[in-house]
Chain A
């Protein structure tokens, strides 16, 4: 099953559309309610970051199959100002104290894999993966 879908984030209502898309795909893949919610929480967070800091960007959601497992990959990319100090942004208590919700450490916690690339002035790409537990059913 090869499947990919993307949504442009231009306004706050696009955050909801991205969540909906993510939830549909997660459900189809067989994720339980809690994991579905984790996935949508991550999508909200990443989409909100794009909306708040870059103004616009994209969220790509795709199914991934490896030899023994199946999962969902989310890519969030923008061409905004980038994150100046990634270490600080990844610190607990940094974004939450500013009232921004889960923050990047929260995103990392909710997913199984996390990768962040950011170039000052050129934008940010976050790639996260959630694996379906129990392998291919």
Chain B
């Protein structure tokens, strides 16, 4: 017996029961049965037709006008049935897209993966969490015998379009010759790559820094990137990590200004994406001072613990709704 036959006999039984006893139980059973028929993708017009047929059987003297009115109802309900089937197929399609995105996210995780350097001279912490499945922020560490380079990039927008652009920066960086490792040179080269390959409405902001752990000198430059912070351990105060420079991908042949800083024991360099500072609560954007206050609160912890705690606090501040990709990196001289 296929479901159509089960549907008709089941519906008849429940309807008869209800007509006989007008009970809540019969109504409830009717509703449960309706659920089953929805699962079998039965359209509403089909139910109406069954209802009409059963009425005819139960009440042979029923007025013809009443039965005719069901034809009208069937016609009326036709588009509801179609809308329901369309909804079903869109739901299937959504599921498909969702699993594709999940696959893309794991591919991205794999090729953007970078391990956080462990070092006796400097303690490093980093966290990057996408607002959606796919991350439009990107960070990377490159180590050699005397320095650690850090790159932090943020593509305008988020999700898949941002991730596609991100691959460009990643491969742009991979294909730079070893001789190019000064922050301003790196940015100038990547700007050329971005300018040549990106649509004019896409751009990327980026911070690039090199920490020389023999001399404890931090050299950095940025392309329109959200300013980080510098924590001076002697004065126990924060200041903005000043940079100047146009975003990547907008204009050819741009030069970037490079900054140098001597890092003393206990000093911290804080780099972030605008997803951190543009976190929003009910009262609007958070103040940058909230970030520095949080760093102060956790200053006794390791760099990795600091960034993770700050992420959890800000996530909570925003009611666990991340609006933009969130990346926070801290270098702390030991």
Residues of A within 8 A of B (CB): 32-34, 37-38, 40-41, 92-93, 96, 101-102, 105-106, 109-110
Contact = CB atoms under 8 A, between A and B. Distances in A.
B71 interface: yes
B62 interface: no
A96 B81 CA distance: 13
Contacts of A41: 75, 78-79, 82
B309 to A, nearest CB: 44
A34 B49 contact: yes
Contacts of A110: 82
Contact of B83 (A32, A33, A40, A96): A96
Interface of B: 45-46, 49, 52, 70-71, 74-75, 78-79, 82-83, 85-86, 89-90, 93
Contact of A37 (B78, B85, B86, B89): B78
Contact of B93 (A32, A33, A40, A92): A92
Contact of A93 (B45, B46, B86): B86
Contacts of B78: 37-38, 41, 102
Given A34-B74, A38-B78, A41-B78, A106 B45 contact: no
Contacts of A93: 86, 90
A85 B74 CA distance: 33
Contact of A34 (B46, B79, B86): B46
A106 B86 contact: yes
Chain B contact surface mostly: helix
A92 B83 contact: no
A101 B79 contact: yes
B74 A33 contact: yes
B82 A92 contact: no
Contact of A96 (B45, B52, B86, B93): B86
B49 A92 contact: no
Contacts of B52: 33
Nearest to A38: B78
A102 B49 contact: no
A105 B49 contact: no
Nearest to A133: B4
Contact of A109 (B45, B82, B90, B93): B82
B189 to A, nearest CB: 41
Instruction: Name the residue in B75, B83, B93 with the highest tally of chain A Cβ atoms < 10 Å from its Cβ.
Output: B75
A38 B71 CA distance: 12
Given A40-B75, A41-B78, A92-B89, 17 more contacts: A32-B49, A33-B52, A33-B70, A34-B74, A37-B75, A37-B78, A41-B82, A92-B86, A93-B90, A96-B83, A102-B79, A102-B82, A106-B82, A106-B85, A109-B82, A109-B85, A110-B82
